[in-house]
Chain A
């Protein structure tokens, strides 16, 4: 299972007397600054459609990366959990379907939505951890399909095929959160928060125990760790990320329907996480960016090449396949390999690691 090689995170923080602010790597400052001043550079379409969507899909895939990279469990139910989050906001909050929507204020509806989505995710996890490895993929795929069909056929709660439209974010602080810049900052905030929390957890006792469970469940259970509880808790945390992403996704398109959480989108999340790489939380965001760029511009590129724009899936499939074939660790893996090559001594061919 070379995809899930142990994460190369430096676990022991260097205690060289610098404050934590000084220990933040330069790359973080640069990327952070660029992302913060992005609204001054990019147009509304870029902000809302490209970056907003990237952050949302990245956030949902981040949950999968957390499960897969640190827990060794690949779940395809992430998108369904995001769908539950979106649906619950539409059901408990305000939408254009006022026969079903309860119209509760956002500070009630959103926490309820998050809690229900987490309950659903935990239940999924509880079922999925009864099995291992490839079985998990099959079971979560089946659960995702069940949710899709259920939402499509249930008209009492989920409003069937058409779903809900007119689901808008609350007008908090007098800001229209669907405005391009405001939505950009909203999604950026949650994506950055999710990223940092995952990074933190990966070095916290829970994350370390989870990685131990991934590498050797029997030894961990002999050490007195409750393996099942750790795995289910990982699902719960991943579903929180997915639920936040799902709510943002619903706000972005102002609607939610069964197609949002269909089987195609569920597999897309896996594609995103694998293309980006599952070893580091930055992977899902890279993968999401590539996916969104492809999905937005591939049609134009294909048309100029003389192919029909409908062949987008083919392009995505080939990209996914070649990544899985040649670089199981995704783009991050490619990057790492490139860096190792550069560090290698050209004469001896050794090195690659810092002395």
Chain B
């Protein structure tokens, strides 16, 4: 039985208590996307400002539990200022880390760490490469909370799509 300390790591609680990049960027010029978790009613608003195929600025609005809020906060810190291609890779890596079934793993792209979808081996996530985000690894042991952790990431992907950023 996984313990609470697996879920609520100190970094997570820190980002929950003092969320980074809170708020909303004026849209336009920023692109705005809303995400909903039908399970708990959580709503998240991601606004991103793009420049030269990079995420120049990002803000997170909405309400949610400590896991969804801290995941969003960690995500905003991790992607701010990064080229879109890198952000897309990070989204793929993060979602692979949050996958409990091989079938739900994203199809292999150029990025390392992914495996073909028909491969029974779980994706090897390079935990070193994702820094503080690795704190969210324990969420996988609490399957109901996975959607809380991935909500902001799916919403960011949606925002990138809407911004016409290269996939």
A binds B: no
